[in-house]
Chain A
Amino acid sequence: MAGAEGDDSLYPIAVLIDELRNEDVQLRLNSIKKLSTIALALGVERTRTELLPFLTDTIYDEDEVLLALAEQLGSFTVLVGGPEFVHNLLPPLESLATVEETVVRDKAVESLRKISQEHSPVDLEVHFVPLVKRLASGDWFTSRTSACGLFSVCYPRVSSSVKADIRQHFRTLCSDDTPMVRRAAASKLGEFAKVLELDYVKSDIIPLFTALASDEQDSVRLLAVEAGVSIATLLPQEDLEALVMATLRQAAEDKSWRVRYMVADKFSELQKAVGPEITKTDLVPAFQNLLKDCEAEVRAAAANKVKVFCENLPEDSRETIIMTHILPCVKELVSDTNQHVKSALASVIMSLSTILGKDNTVEHLLPLFLVQLKDECPEVRLNIISNLDCVNEVIGIRQLSQSLLPAIVELAEDAKWRVRLAIIEYMPLLAGQLGVEFFDEKLNSLCMAWLIDHVFAIREAATCNLMKLVEKFGAVWAQNTIVPKVLGMANDSNYLHRMTTLFCINALSEVCGQEITTKHMLPVVLKMSTDQVANVRFNVARSLQKIGPVLDSSALQAEVKPVLEKLATDQDMDVKYFALEAISVLALA
């Protein structure tokens, strides 16, 4: 063996190590992703004394490399010698926690949180807590923002004097000069509150929450809303009013729409956190205001919550509250000037019927559905249609169909093909909800009309729709209702319609089964092989290829094969090509 003193097994590792500093980012990234292999080869001792110091200094690299590194280090404990040595991982993660790129810092913090669990309580105080304090008092806000996410993981496992120290550091960060740090602190406030003793939540967290919720920057205030929700879940019911409600009420009426948006967005969490009594006294009026907010973004966010809010209202007074307080606002939103608001409402309004029952639905909700179904914005109409099933359960199909059908028909004939397309996609759903009898009576003709739409995308979707309908209603239904109509189009003077027949057959043959395919469809396809338009002829070849597997071998040999052979000698190149392809796929050669 050449080079007896060399060790061949080292070679791949040597390459990996060298590529840690290759000029090509991709190679560096590969190496970093195999860091565990390198560490394994070096052994725990050299990993600690050589590899980690190198990695600590390697923060100049590209973000993606640093991101991968930060992630790797989160599961590196075994490779440095187990929990006893886990603190060796802190220096590289500390330097990664100060880089400017948010994703890298977040990943470093995530890994730090992970390995904090592997520290013994002593190591936590000796190594981890000092690191948190260093970051928290760093010169640059990047390190201070990273520190915010580390308090909650070390707090529960340290002595009470260190706990006091940690609380103090967190307090300091909450009043940091830079909004970035205050934002980071505000977003971790709820999480930190969860690990604190209840007395400290009251004495420490509440003042911080109040301060952050009235910060001069609305970007900080809006994050305090979420913290408020978490804090509210921690407090006993009797303390809520005194400690958090004033601040939350203030947030719901904040001057900045972004803060109000946040309140609207977190409304159902808030509702759960404060319980039924406060919901009745405070949240109902607040919710009404949000639904009437002057900023459309806020109204839309609130409209999205209508269903969940109503569902979670205390049962005893639910109907009264909805009827007297919520429904009037909802009625106004139905004719809102902003389409996002209307469409948000349309996506949830139908589900109110389950809560309110049949009589209220017919009397109060149905008129609203109808208004929204006629809305000029297609998204609003679609949101209504896609939720028809909830109403169906409550008021029954007859009533629903009488009122809704005209609107659906109108959409089905909309001048915008994208609207028609969307309606087609809901057809199978509607068909399922309405039943076969009703479908035949009212919607079948629409489905057939789409097959001769002048937009290809519609014809294609209509074909696919037929297949789904057959899946729902069965082959017998297909044979009686749609197959004759589809096959009839084979004699149409427009070659595009003749091709639609073929496309339909492609889609339907499998769901209709062998008998219908052989008896009814195949003759039509074969007959079309003499069509004068080449496009039709080559689609015959493709159709035969497609339906071949459904047919039995005698039909294939006796009927399909001669036709394909004939097409294979067609003067048109494409026809030839597809005929030959079909022959080879169906193994008829």
Chain B
Amino acid sequence: MDGDGEGQSRWCLSQVKGAIDDDVAEADIISAVEFSHSGELLATGDRGGRIVIFQQEQENKNLPQGRAEYNVYSTFQSHEPEFDYLKSLEIEEKINKIRWLPQKNAAHFLLSTNDKTVKLWKISERDKRPEGYNLKEEDGRYRHPSSLTTLRVPVFQPMDLMVEASPRRVYANAHTYHINSISVNSDNETYLSADDLRINLWHLDFTDRSFNIVDIKPANMEELTEVITASEFHPLQCNTFVYGSSKGSVRLCDMRASALCDQHSKLFEEPEDPSTRSFFSEIISSISDVKFSHSGRYMMTRDYLTLKIWDLHMESRPVETYQVHGYLRSKLCSLYENDCIFDKFECCWGGDDSEVMTGSYNNFFRMFDRDAQRDVTLEASWENGSPGCPLKSWRVSAGSRRKRSEIGVDCLDFSRKILYTSWHPQDSIVALATVNNLYIFQEKPN
């Protein structure tokens, strides 16, 4: 399996958001990217606790070759830094995850979470405002009560469109450890939140109670060998969810079986190859993301070096395994020293489940075409090519001699990484975050 080879891909840069500047404030670093269910909205969260929502321009959508421009729709502060006085711990405002709710009325809703607290936000439009007071003018000047001869009822008048983000619910105080995942159930009324050792089930309408459905905390913390790293609900079956662990296994639980899902019903785990066993084996097998396909038939897991696709009916081994950056296997020692080995890369499915994408270093991201068994390495960069131009595909070579489209392993920049990615639910549009920039790419129709 060896990519498009040299030349151009069908993907082209559509937009870059965020300041293009080497001097990046910590708060501006993006930490979550997520398309809404229709793809009309795209949300990003950052380490400063802010959420920026982009909206796809409607008019361009139908133009031939039209580039679907996303423009800022709403910006708001989702989380603030806090201090836990009981434990003397700072709670960062960094947004760990954003999840959209299925649309229930004209407004949009999303869940956002930092390490401890999940919040439900409503993003709504307002295009009318009431006018007409009895006791004052519209500009605020008071009218003398004696001039009152008849009562006025205010009337709604059209006004410029205003987008409001309002906090609707705050689901706090249920997590002792750091929340790594949130996932909305297909029943549209519950969601789960997972931290290192526990998974809780919430009803969206109730903030004062949640049910603990998984607890892997050992009675004695010294016996702790495994933590939960990611969790997600099945897209169609409301009773099924999975969670991945730091040991590289994924457990599938059935909430129908019992109230507390300590017993998994399936365990997806690939036997370790003894020949490649090393000090780093366990670290690099840790699951950094788990995602069900849209069909609900497959599940994708990302570990440090690979992307695996599992058939839910086969627990013993993945049906497909893709090397994301296998050339790093020889560099694990230095990646351990600079902590890169603990980076948690996300992964995502294309709208029709036939392609998958995940990020890498040097602002590279990888796309795998499952049917054609082709893969491509693309670079998120505003310098190489203007919007609309096809991206060139890269190869990373281990040797010293290289061609024009090749780059040596030693030349990779490990500080530029693409951890957060999202794929438009229907169209060939992807969004991904480099440090503080949001890149949107679009596939050229053939």
Instruction: Give the interface of A toward B (CB within 8 A).
Output: 2-3, 5-8, 10-11, 13-15, 17-18, 20-21, 41-42, 46, 50-51, 53-54, 57-58, 60, 98-100, 102, 140-143, 178-180, 183, 216-219, 254-258, 294-297
**Would A140 and B238 be within 8 Å (CB), given that A6-B147, A7-B148 are in contact?**
no
**Nearest 10 interchain pairs by C-beta:** A3-B146, A256-B256, A14-B134, A6-B146, A50-B153, A57-B156, A140-B105, A219-B187, A142-B105, A217-B238
Q: Is B102 at the interface (CB under 8 A from chain A)?
A: yes
Complex: how many Å from CA A2 to CA B205?
54
| B311 → A minimal CB distance (Å) | 20
- A100-B136 in contact (CB<8A): no
Complex: how many Å from CA A8 to CA B145?
8
Chain B, 147-191, CB within 8 A of any chain A CB:
147-156, 186-189
- A17-B152 in contact (CB<8A): yes
**Of all chain B residues, which has the CB nearest A179?**
B187
Complex: how many Å from CA A217 to CA B188?
11
**Would A14 and B148 be within 8 Å (CB), given that A100-B105, A140-B106 are in contact?**
yes
- B136-A141 in contact (CB<8A): no
Other CB < 8 Å A-B pairs besides A8-B145, A180-B187, 20 of them?
A: A10-B148, A14-B145, A14-B152, A17-B151, A17-B152, A18-B135, A18-B136, A21-B130, A50-B155, A57-B156, A98-B105, A99-B105, A100-B122, A140-B106, A180-B189, A216-B237, A219-B189, A256-B255, A295-B259, A297-B259
Q: Determine the chain A residues whose CB is within 8 A of the CB of B126 once the complex forms.
A: 60
- Contact partner of A17 (CB less than 8 A), chosen from B124, B154, B256, is B154
Q: Is B277 at the interface (CB under 8 A from chain A)?
A: no
- Contact partner of B134 (CB less than 8 A), chosen from A17, A183, A295, is A17
**Of all chain B residues, which has the CB nearest A6?**
B146
Q: Determine the chain B residues whose CB is within 8 A of the CB of A6 once the complex forms.
A: 144-149
Complex: how many Å from CA A100 to CA B103?
10
| B177 → A minimal CB distance (Å) | 26
Q: Is B258 at the interface (CB under 8 A from chain A)?
A: yes
Contact count band on B: 35 or more
- Contact partner of A217 (CB less than 8 A), chosen from B107, B152, B155, B187, is B187
**Of all chain A residues, which has the CB nearest B106?**
A140
Chain B, 128-149, CB within 8 A of any chain A CB:
128, 130, 133-136, 144-149
**Would A296 and B259 be within 8 Å (CB), given that A6-B146, A17-B134, A41-B151 are in contact?**
yes
| B233 → A minimal CB distance (Å) | 12
Complex: how many Å from CA A5 to CA B136?
18
Complex: how many Å from CA A3 to CA B148?
9
Q: Which of B106, B107, B128, B148 lies at the interface centre, i.e. has the most chain A CB atoms within 10 A of its CB? A: B148
Q: Determine the chain B residues whose CB is within 8 A of the CB of A183 once the complex forms.
A: 187, 189
- A42-B258 in contact (CB<8A): no
**Of all chain B residues, which has the CB nearest A259?**
B256
Q: Determine the chain A residues whose CB is within 8 A of the CB of B146 once the complex forms.
A: 2-3, 5-6
Q: Determine the chain B residues whose CB is within 8 A of the CB of A46 once the complex forms.
A: 151, 153
Q: Determine the chain B residues whose CB is within 8 A of the CB of A296 once the complex forms.
A: 259
- A54-B130 in contact (CB<8A): yes
- A257-B259 in contact (CB<8A): yes
**Would A141 and B104 be within 8 Å (CB), given that A6-B148, A217-B238 are in contact?**
yes
**Of all chain A residues, which has the CB nearest B144?**
A3
Between A and B, 24 residue pairs with Cβ closer than 8 Å are A6-B145, A6-B147, A6-B148, A10-B149, A14-B134, A14-B148, A15-B135, A17-B154, A18-B133, A18-B136, A21-B154, A50-B153, A50-B155, A57-B128, A57-B130, A140-B104, A141-B104, A180-B188, A183-B187, A216-B237, A217-B238, A219-B189, A219-B238, A255-B256
Q: Determine the chain B residues whose CB is within 8 A of the CB of A17 once the complex forms.
A: 134, 151-154
Q: Determine the chain B residues whose CB is within 8 A of the CB of A255 once the complex forms.
A: 256-257
Complex: how many Å from CA A142 to CA B104?
6
Q: Which of B122, B135, B136, B187 lies at the interface centre, i.e. has the most chain A CB atoms within 10 A of its CB? A: B187
Q: Determine the chain B residues whose CB is within 8 A of the CB of A18 once the complex forms.
A: 133-136
Q: Is B109 at the interface (CB under 8 A from chain A)?
A: yes
- B148-A11 in contact (CB<8A): yes
Q: Is B373 at the interface (CB under 8 A from chain A)?
A: no
| B362 → A minimal CB distance (Å) | 43
**Of all chain B residues, which has the CB nearest A57?**
B156
- B238-A20 in contact (CB<8A): no
Q: Is B239 at the interface (CB under 8 A from chain A)?
A: yes
- B155-A54 in contact (CB<8A): yes
- Contact partner of A140 (CB less than 8 A), chosen from B103, B124, B147, B186, is B103
- B144-A13 in contact (CB<8A): no
Complex: how many Å from CA A360 to CA B104?
58
